[in-house]
Amino acid sequence: MIEIKNVSKLFNPGQLNEVKALQDINLTIMPKEFVVVIGANGSGKSTLMNIISGAEQPSSGTIFINEDDVSNLPEYKRSKWISRVFQNPLSGTAPNLSIIENFRLASLRTQSKLLSVGINDSFKKTVQDKIASLNMGLENKINQNMGTLSGGQRQALTLLMSVMDNTEVLLLDEPTAALDPKIASTILQTAEKMIHQLNLTAIFITHNLKDAHQYGNRLIRLQEGKIVNDLNAEEKGRISASDMLEWFM
Amino acid sequence: MFDFYITALILGLCLSAMATGIFISMKIFHIPDITTDGSYTLGAVVTAICITKGWHPLVALPVVMLIGAFAGTITGLIHTKLKIDALLSGILVMTALYSINLTLLGRSNVPLLNVKTIFNSFSFFINENYQQLFIILILVLMIVFSIAYILKTDFGLSMRAVGDSPSMTKALGINNDAMKITGLAIANSLTATSGYLVAQYQNYTDINMGIGIVITGLGSVLIADTIIARFSIQNVILQLAIVAMGCIIFQQVLAFALTLGIDPKLLKLITAVFVLSIVSLTRLSSLRK
């Protein structure tokens, strides 16, 4: 469960170019909720995501994950609960490490990385089985460097890596914005399946209203740093993508 | 004549510990670590102090490595905690180390004759060259294998990933700052080890022996990098072995320049021109692709 209480975020406070990215946001996200966040550019979607992940510190307010106050924890400590898939497919993987080495690190997200070799045959087998589920033919390339794969392949693997270790919260920050429609839908369908099977709390930012309509069981729209719409599963089911489009007119 | 190249070979092996350190700071963390000039001399200074006191060279080694690691830690702290450019952090620590080295040593030059060194503490061969070569080979192999092992462990993977994709490592629970500090500590501990070896090989410690040594290290890593890229070598042990080899090639080229009758005064100039030519050649050939 994520609780955001009175969170505001100012960039360049007191200067001419001051930006109120988030204004007094209050939001509670329950376990198993798959929240889709939409909003125009500059509405504060990414800032909201960064405040939750710890990449940005709020100017005021508090953030709780499962009753733990994480407001002052840096990003790498919040990874105990949170895993992320970035907008840029290159941000979530290390290009000069092999696929299997990337997965090894992902499997230790909440644990300490010790002075022992952790990649063994059974680990390789587990990873190969998981990769095979994508049907992209990557399961036989696990010793290849991540940098040799396409953006879409890397993003699909990043998604699998995000649940290699215990996860409560999955943050998807426009994960398919840079990808072609086919691989984008593979990734989102895989994400939906994972969220359902592992009972994750998920937040999904998107600019694609079709995706916003198709996925998730709660819809939030941000405008100028404020939540202007918050629809539950039933309300979300009643509106169409074109209704959503009206909001942006 | 043959002895001349053997000397260059042994010197190359002595310096390969430093090259391995530069490989970590330069290729893994993308930090050109100028601390090297200072920590190399620091290693030689601490060695001189320990072995002239009659300590066994093998007891002096961990002390040298720890003190070298300390120098690297300081550079790492200045870079990560005070957010100062890595290059400048290294220059600051290197400059400070000059005074520290001079204070520790007491004077600018200490000869290490008639003392037990790592090279004369054991006797495997009667021929002095073979004896030195054998001992240095064992040490370099130990260094290459232990660093290669570390880089293959979960800890080593995190270290490599920090330089490769810092956004990913933060999301995977890795403290990037702590990793950079640890990496610089390991790198400078290896550099100090080279200072330890060279001081005992040439039988003296000189306060100026570290000047420009980072260029030798960078040059060796660049030579190695060209070979690694040319044959797309992924195995870490092989990569490190090639780095050590790069260091030997570098020293052989300098030895060759000297046999051509070039004034030793010009050696640093030749070193700089040599490194420049490697860098520009790799740049030009990659531009053409």
Task: Report how far residue B117's alpha carbon sits from residue B199's, in angstroms, rounded to the nearest whole number.
Answer: 9
Is A120 part of the contact surface with chain B (CB cutoff 8 Å)?
Answer: no
- Domain total of chain A: 1
Domain membership of residue A66 as a residue range: 2-81+167-247
Is B1 part of the contact surface with chain A (CB cutoff 8 Å)?
Answer: no
Is A75 part of the contact surface with chain B (CB cutoff 8 Å)?
Answer: yes
Residue-by-residue pLDDT tens, chain A, 249 positions: 899 999 999 999 888 888 889 999 999 999 889 999 999 888 899 999 999 999 999 999 999 998 889 999 999 999 999 999 998 988 999 999 999 999 999 999 999 899 999 899 999 999 999 999 888 999 999 999 999 999 999 999 999 999 999 999 999 999 998 888 899 999 999 999 999 999 999 999 998 889 999 999 999 999 999 999 898 888 888 888 888 888 887
Number of Cα atoms under 13 Å in the Cβ half of residue A244:
28
Task: Report how far residue B223's alpha carbon sits from residue B243's, in angstroms, rounded to the nearest whole number.
Answer: 8
Is B233 part of the contact surface with chain A (CB cutoff 8 Å)?
Answer: no
Task: Report how far residue B48's alpha carbon sits from residue B107's, in angstroms, rounded to the nearest whole number.
Answer: 12
- Indicate whether B288 pLDDT > 80: no
Element (H, E) at A5: strand A2-11
What pLDDT is stored for residue B32 in this prediction? 93
Listed residue (A214, A102, A217) closest to A159, CA to CA: A102
Q: Tokens 């009643």 belong to which residue?
A: A238
Task: Report how far residue B94's alpha carbon sits from residue A36's, in angstroms, rounded to the nearest whole number.
Answer: 52
- CA angle (A49, A51, A57) in 5-degree steps: 155
- The one-character DSSP state at A42 is T
- Is A100 inside a domain boundary? no
What pLDDT is stored for residue A14 in this prediction? 85
What residue of A is the nearest CA neighbor of B176? A76
Q: Is the ipTM of this complex over 0.90?
A: no
CB contact under 8 A, B172 and A118: no
What pLDDT is stored for residue A67 in this prediction? 85
In B176-215, the residues whose Cβ lies within 8 Å of chain A are: 176
Is A34 part of the contact surface with chain B (CB cutoff 8 Å)?
Answer: no
Q: What CATH number should be reported for the domain holding residue A61?
A: 3.40.50.300
- Is A33 inside a domain boundary? yes
What pLDDT is stored for residue B289 in this prediction? 53
Is A141 part of the contact surface with chain B (CB cutoff 8 Å)?
Answer: no
pTM for the full model? 0.91
Give me the residue spans of the domains in chain B: 2-288
What pLDDT is stored for residue B151 in this prediction? 94
Q: Using a CB-CB distance cutoff of 8 angstroms, which residues of chain B are in contact with residue A114?
A: 153-155
Is A104 part of the contact surface with chain B (CB cutoff 8 Å)?
Answer: yes
Task: Report how far residue B11's alpha carbon sits from residue B201's, in angstroms, rounded to the nearest whole number.
Answer: 8
Residue B83 backbone class (left: φ over 0; alpha: ψ -120 to 50; beta: rest): left
Amino acid code (one letter) for B266: L
CB contact under 8 A, A106 and B152: no
CA B156 to chain centroid: 19
- The one-character DSSP state at A199 is T
The CA distance from B156 to the nearest CA of chain A, in Å, is 7
- Is A69 inside a domain boundary? yes
For B2-288, which CATH class?
mainly alpha
Task: Report how far residue A161's alpha carbon sits from residue A142's, in angstroms, rounded to the nearest whole number.
Answer: 13
DSSP B209-252: TTTTHHHHHHHHHHHHHHHHHHTT---HHHHHHHHHHHHHHHHH
The CA distance from B161 to the nearest CA of chain A, in Å, is 6
Q: Using a CB-CB distance cutoff of 8 angstroms, which residues of chain B are in contact with residue A77?
A: 173
| pLDDT tens digits, B114-156 | 999 999 888 888 888 899 999 999 999 999 999 999 999 999 9
Element (H, E) at A211: helix A209-214
Q: What's chain B's average pLDDT?
A: 93
Check if the beta carbon of residue B131 is closer than 8 Å to that of residue B123: yes
Task: Report how far residue B227's alpha carbon sits from residue A6's, in angstroms, rounded to the nearest whole number.
Answer: 57
| pLDDT band, very low/low/confident/very high, at B89 (cuts 50, 70, 90) | very high
The CA distance from A170 to the nearest CA of chain B, in Å, is 11
- Is A10 inside a domain boundary? yes
What pLDDT is stored for residue A233 in this prediction? 83
Task: Give the mutation candidate from B80, B154, B162, B236 for the A interface (greatest A CB count, under 10 A).
Answer: B154
Check if the beta carbon of residue A87 is closer than 8 Å to that of residue A109: no
What pLDDT is stored for residue B272 in this prediction? 87
